[in-house]
Amino acid sequence: MNVLVIGGGGYVGSLLVQNLIEKKIKVFVLDLFIYGKPEIIFSGYHKSEFLEVIKGDIRDIDLMKNLISKVDNVIHLACISNDPSFELNPDLGKSINYDSFYPLIKACKNKINKFIYASSSSVYGIKDEKRVTEDLSLEPLTDYSKFKALCEDILLNESGNGNKFCSAILRPATVCGYSQRTRLDVIVNILTNNGYNKRKIIINGGKQKRPNIHIQDMVNAYLNVIDQPNEVINDQIFNVGFENYTLDEIGSLVQKSLGEDIIVEHKNTDDERSYHISSDKISRILNFKPLFSIEKAINDLKEAFDKKLLKDSFNDPRYFNIKMMQKINLQ
């Protein structure tokens, strides 16, 4: 087996690539590497015979065709990630997150075995149902989420036609925890950073729910799916997020893990949006179970801070997608 990981230099991708290498799977990584050099992001693995790094742009279709000709499987993680980064330059976001997708899928036809797409649990919008399952309607609230949903449609329309390749879609919750390309702009990591370094966390509202998943569990989900027989996963959609906690509950976990001396301050907010998802399907069909927890993610970050692995954690743009996008002015 060999795999092309598009966006393999990102938060989840960097850890996924390391896990694939450990399984002695040949990995081709395509990424712009705007958040760090490959030798840093893949520290300890960058000289592996199982790793080939390509610095490039998913919008370069000739490059993509060349890479696709070398691999059996594709895991597509690349995007302008999160709403603020997307909204900074909507045309750029659309060109990477949506416009590049159909040419990529077209290039994969009759060339690869599996195509696994990282969508988002945000495609559901706000739901009143207690169990937000994969069969519910999609009502995305932002362009970022809208284009994720539209890419799902493209993939499902193109993949199953004549068994050109097997496709699977994952709708991840918000990922948390440490990787060698850590983000500190997602809720669990934000609160942990503030709790550890300022001994104070600020929660806007508190009753809103957010689905979260430990980063290693997210990586394990991709590994699980790529190992499945095609007939099990073809054209299937899976939610991946096992802990639907309120912001107050997440704050309490941070306080429990980092110390009761941490001050928790609440502020009023106009954003009362609450999200939650059910991951029963992936458990039932793929027998996938999470091994880690939000509390483990908090403690992993604490250990990274203890070891001085996350220096200048409030200012270094590498940890914040919006800051890096503002800095580099990608076009």
Could you give the percent of the chain with pLDDT greater than 90?
A: 91
Q: Strand 2-6 and strand 26-31: pairing? A: parallel
- Quote the pLDDT of residue 120: 96
Contact at 8 Å (CB) between 171 and 123? yes
The residues near 231 (Cβ < 8 Å, ≥ 6 apart) are: none
**Predicted local confidence at residue 191, as pLDDT:** 98
Tokens 């440490």 found at: 178
Instruction: Tell me the pLDDT tens digit for each residue of 278-296.
Output: 999 999 999 999 999 999 9
Burial class (CB within 10 angstroms; exposed 0-12, middle 13-18, buried 19+) of 129: exposed
Identify the CA nearest to 170 among candidates 73, 236, 86: 236
User: What's the distance, Cα to Cα, between the start and end of the chain in Å?
Assistant: 34
CATH code, domain with 258: 3.40.50.720
The residue among 169, 174, 202 whose CA lies nearest residue 188 is: 174
The answer to whether 116 and 165 have CB atoms below 8 angstroms apart is no
Which residues of the chain are modeled with pLDDT < 50?
none
Facing residues of 237 across strands? 169
The count of residues in the chain is 331
Give the whole-angstrom CA distance, residue 224 versus residue 230: 12
The rounded distance, in Å, linking the Cα atoms of 55 and 203 is: 38
- Residue pair 159/107 in contact by the 8 Å Cβ criterion: no
What's the pLDDT score for residue 160? 67
Number of domains in the chain: 1
Q: How many CB atoms lie within 10 A of CB 202?
A: 14
Residue 128 and residue 204: Cα distance in Å, rounded? Answer: 21
What string of DSSP letters covers 292-323?
Answer: --HHHHHHHHHHHHHTT-STTTTT-GGG-HHH
The side-by-side arrangement of strands in the sheet containing 114-118 is 51-55, 26-31, 2-6, 73-76, 114-118, 166-172, 236-240
Domain range for 260: 2-328
Packed helices 143-159 and 101-108: angle between N→C axes, nearest 10 degrees = 20
3-state secondary structure of 202: strand
CA distance 42 to 298: 22
Which residue, 72, 31, 34, 73, is CA-closest to 52? 31
pLDDT at residue 85 in the model:
87
* Cα 297 from chain centroid (whole Å): 15
Token digits of residue 175: 């990922």
